[in-house]
Amino acid sequence: MEEIKEKKNKQKIVIFIIIAFLIGFIFGRIYSPIEEKETSFVNLIKKIERKEETIDYNLFLDVLETIRTKYIEQQISERNLFYGALKGLVAGLKDPYSIFLEPELAEKFKTELSGFFEGIGAEISSKKERIIIVAPLEGTPAEKAGLKPGDEIYEINGEDTLGMGIDEAVSKIRGKKGTQVKLLIFRKGWDSPKEFVITRDVIRIKTVRYEMKNNKIAYLKISYFNERTVSEFDKAIREILSKKPSGLILDLRNNPGGYLYAAVEIAGAWTGEKVIVFEKLRSGEEKEYWAKREAKLKDLKTIVLVNKGSASGSEILAGALQDYEIAKILGEKTFGKGSVQELTELRDGSIVKLTVARWLTPKKREIEGIGIEPDIKIEMTEKDYDEEKDPQLEKAIELLTK
């Protein structure tokens, strides 16, 4: 009898935990802790009964008990089972942008949004099944160690990178400040690869950089929208305007998005105080997001470069400039991520990233699954990449120098 009572008590505890998390998903905005809410199993059952589908939540407990009693490995991590169930709960939405992040991954996610991480400071990509260095960031351990653009990474800590994915490579290269990573590097012109031992450090991501082309065309690259992007952008614009350029190229290629407010405020440098994007909620209600700044760039002829790697905030920015006919969009159709994700931080530090709305351009154009079509379509071929040519940038410079 005592065993039966104990089993029932365990079941009640698990049910209560599940209910608490389910209720928690409903509340909270970005990084705001969940409010404590009273609930009960009876209330949940009543809610379920009002729906057409009938779900037997005891199945969860049945599966859990089956694993505990029959799985061949005796050392079972209850934590892994629990977080695995929560991941599966969100995965059941079949939405690629809605995910559950355990506390450790949630912390890394927040750190990267703030623009800081620990590693060597090199942007990497994949080419012909090899991981390559796109560019070492200025002043980072990667640059100080002598890594160069185009270097091929043959091994990471003795592990062959042939066929390795970029995410896996990044996870292996990054690490705590003061620790070391060994990279076996091959460079064009070398007879054989060489080993680089690099000490990791705290890396600050600079999201905005610029240079002058032909002494009169400003080239401005935004690689990501984080909490410092607006201030970096404003600093770059002050310097650019002091050089009195005849035109500006805004490069948003391979920019995956980031903070909404950064994309909206940067758009305002061209539009002034106007609606930059609409947020369409599940209720059908539409919320406006306005830029609140002076349009310092409104009279500067601008071309925006985009490709299939331009997503979310990049599409919002490009779509607004296109709708207001302030800039020409050049390149390839963008990714088509026009959904809004809300981040809810749970009591244990984990995060639920959930799609809660859709983005619309100022002219109410859908972005999700459609993307932004360029006014001038120019594709980058595999040959262009291999020969390190950039016909999109070349065309933009040509158009602005006419």
Q: What is the pTM of this model?
A: 0.68
CATH number of the structural domain 208-400: 3.90.226.10
Give yes or no: 126 in active site.
no
pLDDT at 35: 38
Catalytic residue (choose from 201, 274, 323, 350): 323
| CA pair distance 213, 162, nearest whole angstrom | 37
| CA pair distance 372, 306, nearest whole angstrom | 9
Q: Give 108-164 pLDDT, tens digit per residue.
A: 777 666 666 789 988 787 777 889 887 787 678 998 999 987 899 999 999 999 988
Residues of the chain with pLDDT under 50: 1-42, 45
What ranges do the domains of the chain cover? 2-113, 116-204, 208-400
The amino acid sitting at 203 is I
Catalytic residue (choose from 310, 312, 314, 339): 312
Catalytic residue (choose from 201, 337, 350, 353): 337
CATH number of the structural domain 116-204: 2.30.42.10
- On the question of a common fold for 116-204 and 208-400, the answer reads no
Give yes or no: 323 in active site.
yes
pLDDT at 249: 98
